[in-house]
Every structure is written in structure tokens, then in C-alpha cells.
Chain A
Amino acid sequence: MNFQLSEERQMMQDSLRRFLADRYSAAQRDESVSNAIGFAPQIWAQLADLGILGALLPEDVGGYGGKGFDLSTMFEELGRAGVVEPVLDTAVLCGTLLASDPQGKGAALIEDLIAGNVQLAFAHGEVNSRYERLWVATRASAYGDDIVLIGRKSVVVNAAGADHLIVSARESGDIDDREGLSLFLVDTKAEGLQMRSSALLAGGCAAEIDFDNLRIPSSARIGPAGGASEMTEAALAAAEVALAAETLGAMETATQLTMDYLGTRQQFGRPIGSFQALQHRVADMLIELEQARSAVINAAGHLEEQPAMRDRHIAAARNLIARAGRKIAEEAIQLHGGIAMTAEYELAHFAKRIILAEHRFGDADTQLERFIDLSAA
């Protein structure tokens, strides 16, 4: 039993933390958020230089072969600093999908991805899919050597800044069948693709995307025809571990800001942190934070396990973090008072990040249902 980070991971954590402390101020975050694509290209280039984008990709495609704990260590730092750049979407979600088909057309993109020269988005969720992982109505039909896509994708994060989308579509089967699901690489400038992007409340962008008879060559397929369910679930698993760790990092910062404020804010002639009613609430936040940290460790430690065990631990972590995160975000605002309601004060960003993280890949109830299903299996 050893809960220390390895020397290598410790070094990665230190260098990333140092970089973000130096370069990722609240002003930088505001600049990233206010950009129409939801991030700052110069920060992206620097993250690439640090080796962050390739850290998690397998060595055979040019990455560094990172594991679950590398992922969680990295994203905890990104979350702690409130980084809005789409590392999760481009590098984790789409990078994992591309890497799972090393012979495929997308593999050529990985080099560019690691170098920071390409942006990607996974166009998977749909209007009625809610958080179901394989609920896909978008159709892919063969026309000779071509594929024609028809359908609509919803809340596609990072689409506005993306060069390519990875689109999930059904070549056969019913809406939630495991069989029949395929993935396609689509240029965001392709004919027949209509995108309406809006900013996200916690930073970044997402788009509604319509595919109106969009024609692509069948070589744009990533992975086996009709057999992409497993790779989709594996990529989502990595993304969920990343998101859980990122949320943990944001919860640490929210708690830290709250403790600092309680020590400095004076009312009734003394620091408000001297009131026992508030002290106990900080104690509760700290207890929840340690629970969240352990939940992330459990999830990250099982990312390389077989899918049922992997997903059961991930569902557990994300359910716990949804609950603990809500408590910490709401308590951090309440213990601050009015100042926390202002956009200008940094806590606002972290509170929004923590709460809205629950709306990606499954909220507390969805994770609970997954955990129950996977525990019965």
C-alpha cells in the first residue's frame, strides 16, 4: 500500500502547478473565457510544450503512456487552477478515441494533437440521449464508397474551436443497441454541417450541430464498422476520471478561498472564522473534500481494469463528487456571503465549474443508477 505519487508523477505535478501559478491568473482565465472559441491559443501551445497533451496517449502513437493516476494528477492541477482550455475534450476524449484505432485515418492527427496544432470535439450526445452512453439516433448510411450522416448532436463541447469532430452514428440497430454504432472523423468545415455555438456558463463553448446529408468517405470511419461501443465507453471512462479529478481540484480551491476569507473578513469586531457555527461548516467541507479525494483515487486506480469494474468505480466517484461538490460549492458561496455572488471574485468561477461538472457524462442520479446496475451484474 502506497499513496505517494511516484517521482515522475510528482515532477509532472510540480511543473504543471508551477506553470499554472505563473501563467494562469484570474485575468488569463477571463481572457480565455471571453474568446469566441472558449480558450486561449497561446496557453494551449504552452500546455503542449509542457507535454500535457500527449501525456496520456500510448507510447506507440507518440504519447507518454500515462495511466489513470497520471490523468488524475494532471487534471487535479488543471481544476485547482481553473483552467478552461479543452484538454479533456481534445486530448483525453478524442485523443483516446483516435489512439484506439492506430491504423485508422485519425491516427495521423495524433502527432498534431500532441504538438498542440489541432483541436477536436466528440459529437456524441443528442437531444434525447440525456446521459446514456450509447443512445444514438444519428444515422450513417452507405452510398457506394461514401457515408451519409443525418442527425443532430447536442451540447458538443469545444465544437466552435475544433478542426475536426468525431461523430458517433448508427449504421444499424435500435437507438440504444451496443451493436451498430460507428465513429467518423468529420471536418468542421464540411458541407452539410450546421453549427450553433454558445458559451458555457462555467467557461468554454458548446454547440448544437445538425448533419444534413453530410457526405464523407468511408475511410473517415474510426474503429470497426458498427463496433465502436467499447472504445466509446473506454474514452468516456477516461474523460470521467479526468473530470472527477478536475472537479476535486476546483473543490480544493473553493475550500481554500473560503478558509482564507473566514480568516480575514471581520464582522462584529472579529474574523467571522471565529464563529463556531461557521467553523463546523468548514470542517464538514474538509471532510467531504477528503472523501472526494479518495473517490478520485479509487476511480483512477481502476481505469485500466476490465470495463464493469472500471465503470463501477467511476460511477461511485462521480456520484460522490456530485454530492460533495454541491455541498462545497454552495457552502463556499454561503460562508463568503455577497462577495461570492460577484463575477469578479474568483470563487464564482470555481463554484460554477464544480456544479456544472455534474452535467457532463451523468449527474448524481445517473451515476447512482449505473453503480446499482454494475453492482448487480
Chain B
Amino acid sequence: MDLNYSAEELAFREEVREFLREELPTDLSDAVREGRSIGKEGHERWHSILNARGWLAPNWPRAYGGCAWNAVQRHIFEEECCRAHAPRIVPFGLTMLGPVLQKFGSDAQRDYFLPRILSGEHWWCQGYSEPGAGSDLASLRTRAVRDGDHYVVNGQKTWTTLGQYANWIFCLVRTDPDAKQQEGISFLLIDMDTPGIEVRPIILLDGTHEVNEVWFTDVRVPVENLVGEENQGWTYAKYLLTHERTNIAGVGFSQAGLDAVKRLARQQMHRGRPLAENPHFAARLAQVEIDLMAMATTNLRIISAAAAGQAPGVESSMLKVKGTEIRQEINDLARRAAGAYAMPFASEALEGDNSNLAQPEGTAAVSAQYFNNRKLSIFGGSNEIQKNIIAKVKLGGRT
């Protein structure tokens, strides 16, 4: 048992820090720290900086232009990026689709798509959920019917994150309506410029536009855009979800969030003293920090096992539940710290204009973030679904 990083790991951390010090644009880190949107341009700029360094695809093999970092290195990288308020890497092409194409795609698909994910020429989005298929994803109904050299796709996807920026979408579609639910699903790659596709914005409760509905009406997709075999899409979908769940604990986000709450609590005054000195607030803060310290170690235990070649099982479900609970609790503390300043809706602050802001620094986005991050326990497999998985695996055979 040794809680310290090795000399090589520490050297790697230093290398990441130096890179972030030199290369991370301050306008982007300021925006991330203040909870503002960086827009399509901001994401693309950060991606191209990472790509120039060869660090855009930490989880890809070197052969495809990735870093081939192990789980510990990836963790160190993510932790340092969060600490420096770097934008998150947009995951749809890099974290989700990339590994699926590498494992199940054709040579032609790999050669064509993987370099374009790295270069940013293709911005991918995810076509999984449907209005009637949320937690019960396998009940999806978007149909793809073979017609000569094409599939003809009809249906509707929803919760498509940043679909407004995307030019490609990977979709789960039903190709065999008569088979058992999981067995009639295929995995299709669809060019968003194809006629018959319509993207409609969904405005969230904090006023932001980050998700969309995507409608398909007689959309013709070349058969060569099928990944793997027809009707085997569920297998690929599940493989993708295991990658969606990397960094699921969000330790770095929580640490950055906790630091922000502490800063705010030192600024906000209560009876003439900093709020940080108020025993009730201090107790709330300490409670979350204690939980986070333990979860960070759970996360490292699992990462360390993964680096040694063990595939994580129910542990990723456990991390998802606990990690999102902690992040949401930190968002709750942030709104508490802001006091009455949690009430105004400073939409201009979220869009990047702080010039006319009437409220104290660090308070403008706290409520919007509190409400926005209620999504954490809903998406990526809701926390209820994660608990089903844990119970099924651990109780299985006993009941």
C-alpha cells in the first residue's frame, strides 16, 4: 500500500502542468472558471492546441494518433486540466465513437473518420436516446430500412448534446423490428448535411441551449456507413457506454468546484465575518470534502486496477452515483454561499459579457449551474439504472 505517485508519474504531472501553463489560453480558462459557455470556436481552438501536442486522444492507440496513456496517466491529465480550468474534451468523437471504430469499424471507416475526428473536420454527436427510449434505451424506434445501397432512416433522437455544432451523428437504429429488442439494432454513421435531417433546439431550465432534438425523414444513408454487422449495434453501443463512463467520478470537476465554493465563502460576508467562518456553512463544506477525499481514493483504486489490466465492473456504477452526488452537493453549496445573489439570472454572464454585471464575482452562474447539473444524475445511465446494475451483479444468485 503506497498512496504516493511514482517518480515517473510525478514527472508526467509536471509535464502536463507546464503544457497547461504555456498553452491554455486565458480567455478559455477564465470562461470555464466562471461557468460561461466557450462556444464552438472555443472548443475547436482547445482541441487543435491539444492535437498539435498529440494529446487530444489520451485513450487511443498510437497507431491512430492517440497517446496510449494508461489509466493513471489519463487520470493525472484530467485532474490537471480541471485544476487549470481547461475546457473539457468534447467526448462524442474522441471518447465515444473513436474506440468503437477502432474495435468494430472497417479499415475504410477507420482511415476516413479517425483523422477527421482529430483534425476537427468532423464534429460528432450522439443519436442514442429517443422520446420513448430513455433508461429503456433498447426500446428505441428510429427505423432504418435497406433500399439498394442505402438505408432509409425515419425517426427522432433527443438530448443530442451540442448537436447544433455537429456535422456527423452516430445513431442507434432499428433494422429488424421483429427480432428481440436488443437484437434488431444497428449502428449507423450519418452525415448531418443529408437531406431530411432537422435539428431543433431544446432550451434547458437554466436557459441554455446544449441539447437538441434530431428528426430524420427519409434520410438516405450509404450502406458503407454501417459499423460492424447489421443488427449487432447493441454490442457496439454497450462497448461505447463503457468508454462514456471513463472519468465518470468527475473528481477533478469536484475539486475545482470545491475550490470555487471556498473562494466564494471567503468573500461573502455574514454578520461582518467571512461566511467561511460560519460554523453551519463550514460543517456543510467539510462534510462534502470528507466525502470527496474518500471518493478520490476509490477512484484511484479503480484506476490503478485498470492500469494493471483489470476491467472495472460495478465499480464504475458506484463511482457514477457517488461522483454525481458529490458534484451536485458542491453545486448546492455554491448557491448557498451566494446568498440572495443566487436569485438573479445573469444570462449575459453565461454568454461571456461581464461588463455590466451588478453582482459580486463568482455568484452569477451558481444557480444556473446548480439546476443544469441536476442532469448529472439523469444522463449517462441514470443513477437508478446504475443502482440496478450494482444490485443485479452483487445480489445476483441470492434472490
How far is B345's CA from A363's CA once the two chains are assembled, in angstroms? Answer: 19
Residue in A154, A200, A278, A342 whose beta carbon sits within 8 Å of that of B204 in the complex: A342
How far is B180's CA from A269's CA once the two chains are assembled, in angstroms? Answer: 13
Q: Is A259 an interface residue (CB 8 A)?
A: no
Q: Is B297 an interface residue (CB 8 A)?
A: no
Q: Is A61 an interface residue (CB 8 A)?
A: no
Known contacts A278-B384, A343-B205, A348-B205; decide if A359 and B342 are in contact (CB<8 Å). yes
Q: Is B374 an interface residue (CB 8 A)?
A: yes
The stretch among A10-18, A115-123, A127-135, A183-191 that forms the contact with chain B is: A127-135
How far is B158's CA from A176's CA once the two chains are assembled, in angstroms? Answer: 53
Question: Which one of A207, A338, A352 has the highest number of Cβ atoms from chain B below 10 Å of its Cβ?
Answer: A338
Chain A: minimal CB distance from B141 (Å): 12
Q: Is B336 an interface residue (CB 8 A)?
A: yes
Contacts of A278 on B, CB cut-off 8 Å?
Answer: 384
- Closest chain A residue to B281, Cβ basis: A365
- Which of A322-377 touch B at CB < 8 Å? 326, 330, 333-334, 337-338, 340-344, 348, 351-352, 355-356, 359-360, 363, 365, 368-369
Known contacts A154-B341, A348-B205; decide if A277 and B135 are in contact (CB<8 Å). no
Contacts of A200 on B, CB cut-off 8 Å?
Answer: 343-345
**Contact (Cβ within 8 A) A198 B268:** no
- Which of B101-142 touch A at CB < 8 Å? 129, 132, 134-136, 139
**Contact (Cβ within 8 A) B204 A268:** no
How far is B383's CA from A269's CA once the two chains are assembled, in angstroms? Answer: 20
- Closest chain A residue to B372, Cβ basis: A341
- Contacts between chains A and B (CB distance < 8 A), count: 130
How far is B336's CA from A358's CA once the two chains are assembled, in angstroms? Answer: 9
Contacts of A176 on B, CB cut-off 8 Å?
Answer: 271-272
Chain B: minimal CB distance from A110 (Å): 27
**Contact (Cβ within 8 A) A338 B159:** yes
Sort chain A's interface into a size bin: 35 or more
**Contact (Cβ within 8 A) A342 B203:** yes
Known contacts A132-B271, A342-B204, A359-B335; decide if A337 and B382 are in contact (CB<8 Å). yes
Contacts of B271 on A, CB cut-off 8 Å?
Answer: 130, 132, 135, 176
Question: Which one of A155, A198, A360 has the highest number of Cβ atoms from chain B below 10 Å of its Cβ?
Answer: A198
**Contact (Cβ within 8 A) A365 B280:** yes
Q: Is A199 an interface residue (CB 8 A)?
A: yes
- B347-373 near A? 1/0 per residue, CB < 8 Å: 100000000101110000001101100
**Contact (Cβ within 8 A) A365 B356:** no
**Contact (Cβ within 8 A) A338 B269:** no
- A82-118 near B? 1/0 per residue, CB < 8 Å: 0000000000000000000000000000000000000
Q: Is A201 an interface residue (CB 8 A)?
A: yes
Residue in B136, B205, B269 whose beta carbon sits within 8 Å of that of A130 in the complex: B269
Chain A: minimal CB distance from B46 (Å): 26
Q: Is A202 an interface residue (CB 8 A)?
A: yes
Contacts of B278 on A, CB cut-off 8 Å?
Answer: 365
Chain A: minimal CB distance from B212 (Å): 11
Contacts of B129 on A, CB cut-off 8 Å?
Answer: 338
Q: Is A68 an interface residue (CB 8 A)?
A: no
Contacts of B132 on A, CB cut-off 8 Å?
Answer: 266
Contacts of A269 on B, CB cut-off 8 Å?
Answer: 136, 139
- A141-162 near B? 1/0 per residue, CB < 8 Å: 0000000000000110100000
Q: Is B270 an interface residue (CB 8 A)?
A: yes
Q: Is A4 an interface residue (CB 8 A)?
A: no
How far is B205's CA from A130's CA once the two chains are assembled, in angstroms? Answer: 26
How far is B358's CA from A208's CA once the two chains are assembled, in angstroms? Answer: 6
**Contact (Cβ within 8 A) A338 B280:** no
Contacts of A344 on B, CB cut-off 8 Å?
Answer: 202-203
Chain B: minimal CB distance from A234 (Å): 21
- Closest chain A residue to B345, Cβ basis: A201
Q: Is A223 an interface residue (CB 8 A)?
A: no
How far is B269's CA from A130's CA once the two chains are assembled, in angstroms? Answer: 7
- B309-353 near A? 1/0 per residue, CB < 8 Å: 000000000000000000000001001101111111111000000
Known contacts A278-B384, A343-B207; decide if A130 and B270 are in contact (CB<8 Å). yes
- Closest chain B residue to A204, Cβ basis: B343
Known contacts A342-B204, A365-B281; decide if A131 and B340 are in contact (CB<8 Å). yes
**Contact (Cβ within 8 A) B359 A356:** no
Contacts of A196 on B, CB cut-off 8 Å?
Answer: 356, 358
Known contacts A201-B368, A344-B203; decide if A130 and B343 are in contact (CB<8 Å). no
Q: Is B378 an interface residue (CB 8 A)?
A: yes
Q: Is A125 an interface residue (CB 8 A)?
A: yes
Q: Is B375 an interface residue (CB 8 A)?
A: yes
Q: Told that A157-B343, A333-B378 touch, could you supply 8 new A-B pairs with CB distance under 8 A?
A: A176-B272, A198-B345, A199-B344, A201-B206, A344-B202, A351-B371, A360-B343, A363-B336
